[in-house]
Amino acid sequence: MKPKTKSPLGQISTLRQRPRRLRRTATIRDLVRETDLTPDRLVWPVFVTSGRNVREPISSMPGVNRLSPDQLIKDLKLAQDLGVQSVALFPHIDDALKDPLARESKNENGLLPTTVQEIKSACPGMCVVTDVAMDPYSSDGHDGIVEDGEILNDETLAVLAEMAVVQAQAGADFVAPSDMMDGRVAHIRHALDEHGFKSVGIISYAAKYASTFYGPFRDALDSAPKAGDKKTYQMDPRNVKEALREVMIDLDEGADVVMVKPALAYLDVIAKVKEISTVPVAAYNVSGEYAMIKLLAKNGYADEDKAMFEILTAIRRAGADLIFTYHALEAAKLF
């Protein structure tokens, strides 16, 4: 660079600090960046539905489809080519199969377990995460057994543990309880070990908030609560110490990964959890956060790729080691 001879600053021609030197070229910016984002840190959440050749668009989540297992496998091969190695499965269960005790969740030949088996034989390298929660199977649309409007805790634990064992049997690498019942990590760990699944891990939705940003997801699975809300089990958005308490309990109970959910409105929670956690921290970039970007871009208010990348980078910068995001494939194409 040619030095400029005259400084408009006059007397104080040498500033002591010039942070802009480290931003001068793209190469320098890459050289000194603090945050890396790579596709192998992304977990792709997908919605599975029964049948063949089914790709059902979800209107509240532009670009996301409910996929039958054959179509899912096609997309997972694509994901692997792009470097996305992990998938989180959410089943869309037929209304006729739903009941108050979520019995279908224990069906070894049900949609979820058979899909896990198919993925494991078609894409052996894929890390498969399964959701442990009653809501996709429950006629009440809650994550626990409902009695007189109350969500029962201890009775629900047995259902969750059985569900987790069926998923492990099918070949899941991680089971991921997203229900927020007290004591479920210990209960599930015990059941898995008892059945010989010592190597199957638990990704615990440790700090899961009662968020309005889950709306599109519930639309995707037809899983909205039939009555009431989830505030007696999911966390109050006004709290952060409580998140740390939840994380400490889950660590004590044997969680292998702890999650904060949602991600974007809870970056402070991710940062604080990262400080105390002795295991990797996951963050879930949820359906409403995904839809926000799509709507922003559709209206021409922002470049979709840039907006998505900025948000995923922020979640990573806050401290997430792995990120669950519906943007996984689109994001991976940009790396």
Q: Which residues are catalytic?
A: 208, 261
Number of residues that bind ligand PBG (CB under 6 A): 12
CB 230 to ligand PBG: min, Å: 6
Q: Does 217 bind ligand PBG (CB under 6 A)?
A: yes
Per-residue binding string, ligand PBG, 165-204, x by CB under 6 A, is -------------xx-------------------------
61 is a site residue for ligand PBG (CB under 6 A): no
Burial class of residue 232 (count of CB atoms within 10 Å of its CB; 0-12, 13-18, 19+)? middle
Pick one of 103, 106, 195, 218: the residue that binds ligand PBG (CB under 6 A): 218
Measured from the CB atom, is 143 or 246 closer to ligand PBG? Answer: 143
* 79, amino acid identity: A
Give Cβ neighbours of residue 311 (< 8 Å, ≥ 6 apart): 264, 285, 289, 293
Query: Token digits for 200?
Result: 């199957």
Compare residues 65 and 287 and give the one whose CB is closer to ligand PBG. 287
Tell which one of 44, 47, 137, 214 touches ligand PBG (CB under 6 A): 214
Going residue by residue from 105 to 134, which x/- string records binding to ligand PBG, judged by CB under 6 A?
--------------------------x-x-
71 vs 285, which CB is nearer to ligand PBG?
A: 285
| β 127-132/55-57 pair status | unpaired
Q: Closest distance between ligand PBG and the C-beta of residue 190, in Å?
A: 21
- 73's CB contacts (< 8 A; 6+ apart) are 118, 119, 122, 123
Q: For the window 273-302, what string marks contact with ligand PBG as x by the rule CB under 6 A?
A: -------------xx---------------
List helix spans (H) across the chain: 26-32, 69-82, 111-122, 154-170, 184-194, 215-221, 241-253, 267-276, 287-298, 304-318, 328-332
Dist. CA 50–CA 93, nearest whole Å: 8
Question: From the CB of 188, what's the least distance to ligand PBG, in Å?
Answer: 14
Q: Does 143 bind ligand PBG (CB under 6 A)?
A: yes
Closer Cβ to ligand PBG, 92 or 230, answer by number: 230
| Closest to ligand PBG by CB, 26 or 208 | 208
Which H or E run includes 259? strand 257-261
- Tell me if 160 contacts ligand PBG by CB under 6 A: no
Q: How far apart (Å, rounded) are the C-alpha atoms in residues 216 and 45?
A: 13
Residue 219 near ligand PBG by CB under 6 A: no
- On the 0-12 / 13-18 / 19+ scale of CB atoms within 10 A, 2 is exposed
Smallest distance, ligand PBG to C-beta of residue 218, A: 6
- Considering the complex, state which of residue 219 and residue 256 has its C-beta at the smaller distance from ligand PBG: 219
Q: Restricting to residues 220-249, name those near ligand PBG by CB under 6 A.
A: 230
- Going by C-beta distance under 8 Å and a sequence separation of 6 or more, which residues neighbour residue 217? 90, 223, 286, 287, 288
What value does the CA radius of gyration of the chain take, rounded to a whole number of Å? 22
Footprint on this chain of ligand PBG (rule: CB under 6 A):
131, 133, 135, 143, 178-179, 214, 217-218, 230, 286-287
